[in-house]
Amino acid sequence: MSDPVELSIDTTEARLAASRINGACRSIADAVLTLASASAALRASWHGPEADAFFAQTVRLVTQLGLCAERGATLGGRLRREIDAWERIACELE
């Protein structure tokens, strides 16, 4: 029979990490809006094949960054739920 596995987590440190993740995701989301706005403003004055290629790349980048921000926010939420569960169990064991 194998030895039992000890599980532990510093919930204070984990909450700080979750907060940092969420802050980074908000920053990414804000940057996405800024990038999209700047691109839209530029589109009004720049035309042609090179402009079309640039704007197509910008749309892809904005989409990918937006997805990263959403996934990061989901990850931060998951971490907070895990911390809440750890703290509930710790209270029940006391």
CATH of the domain at 82: 1.10.287
For residue 26, give the nearest of 63, 64, 76, 83 by alpha carbon.
76
Instruction: Establish if 5 belongs to a structural domain.
Output: no
Domain interval for residue 26:
11-93
Instruction: Establish if 1 belongs to a structural domain.
Output: no
pTM comes to 0.78
pLDDT at 92: 86
Strands (E) in the chain, as ranges, are none
Instruction: Establish if 81 belongs to a structural domain.
Output: yes
Residue 48 phi, psi (nearest 5) = 120, 175
Mean pLDDT of the 28-39 span:
96
Mind listing the pLDDT tens digit for each residue in 36-85? 999 999 999 999 999 999 999 999 999 999 999 999 999 999 999 999 99
Query: What's the structural domain count of the chain?
Result: 1
pLDDT at 1: 64
Instruction: Establish if 65 belongs to a structural domain.
Output: yes
CB 32 within 8 A of CB 72: no
- Give the whole-angstrom CA distance, residue 44 versus residue 55: 11
- Give the whole-angstrom CA distance, residue 18 versus residue 48: 44
Instruction: Establish if 69 belongs to a structural domain.
Output: yes
One-letter amino acid of 92: E
